[in-house]
């Protein structure tokens, strides 16, 4: 069924069942690859909250979870937008860090986070994203766990918003052409 958020219409794209399959596939790989490594999940707010919650219920190995946020602000100089990482209070020294993202588009957001994390002596850094837009992603760094590849169209639901609306939707919807 079509839904309307603000001024735009969205049509169903990924069902709860399809999302669950993608989340399970990521969880299975992490359970296998990180046994005895006690990974530290770093979930990137806000969009990844629902994915994180569902994924964590499927993680069966010893692990920890922390939330970070990349806040945009405009610097006093004309250099444009700067991203500041908030919430990285845990000691990530020598830890196997797994970043949890809802969606990777150009990869710019994740690039900022990687830059910060690389300055810490972690044991490893992996990326798990529920969705990836491969036609847009042009960055060099590897994406280790990808739930689903989707076309370059704007999606909402399952944590993803359109001007803050739609995060509560259980399924994922695509902007109507």
Closer to ligand 5GP by CB, 109 or 122: give it: 109
- Decide if 36 is catalytic: no
Closer to ligand 5GP by CB, 32 or 138: give it: 138
Strands 64-74 and 81-86: antiparallel
Question: CB 111: neighbour CB atoms within 10 A?
Answer: 14
Using an 8 Å Cβ cutoff, are 24 and 31 in contact?
no
Using an 8 Å Cβ cutoff, are 155 and 139 in contact?
no
Using an 8 Å Cβ cutoff, are 114 and 143 in contact?
no
Of 14-22, 23-31, 56-64, 159-167, which segment contacts ligand 5GP by CB under 6 A?
Answer: 159-167
154 is a site residue for ligand 5GP (CB under 6 A): yes
| CA dist., res. 9 & res. 125, Å (int) | 38
DSSP β-bridge partners for residue 165:
162
Of 19-27, 75-83, 101-109, 141-149, which segment contacts ligand 5GP by CB under 6 A?
Answer: 101-109
108 is a site residue for ligand 5GP (CB under 6 A): yes
Q: Which helix (H) or strand (E) holds 20?
A: helix 16-33
Nearest to 144 by CA among 83, 90, 99: 99
109 is a site residue for ligand 5GP (CB under 6 A): yes
47 is a site residue for ligand 5GP (CB under 6 A): yes
Q: How far is the CB of 95 from ligand 5GP (least distance, A)?
A: 23
160 is a site residue for ligand 5GP (CB under 6 A): yes
Catalytic residue positions, numbered: 105
Which residues sit at the interface with ligand 5GP, rule CB under 6 A?
47, 102-109, 154-156, 160-162
């Amino acid at each position: 069924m079509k839904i309307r958020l603000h001024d735009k219409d969205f049509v169903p794209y990924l069902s709860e069942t399809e999302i669950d399959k993608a989340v399970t596939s990521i969880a299975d790989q992490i359970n296998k690859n990180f046994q005895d490594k006690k990974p530290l999940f770093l979930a990137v707010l806000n969009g990844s909250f629902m994915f994180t919650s569902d994924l964590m219920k499927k993680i069966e190995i010893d692990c920890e979870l922390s939330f970070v946020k990349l806040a945009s602000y405009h610097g006093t100089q004309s250099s444009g937008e700067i991203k500041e990482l908030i919430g990285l209070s845990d000691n990530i020294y020598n830890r196997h860090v797994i970043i949890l993202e809802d969606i990777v588009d150009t990869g710019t957001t994740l690039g900022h986070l990687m830059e910060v994390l690389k300055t810490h002596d972690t044991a490893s850094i992996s990326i798990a994203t529920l969705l990836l837009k491969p036609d847009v992603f042009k960055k060099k760094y590897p994406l280790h766990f990808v739930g689903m590849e989707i076309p370059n169209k704007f999606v909402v639901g399952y944590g993803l918003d359109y001007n803050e609306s739609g995060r509560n939707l259980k399924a994922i919807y695509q902007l109507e052409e």
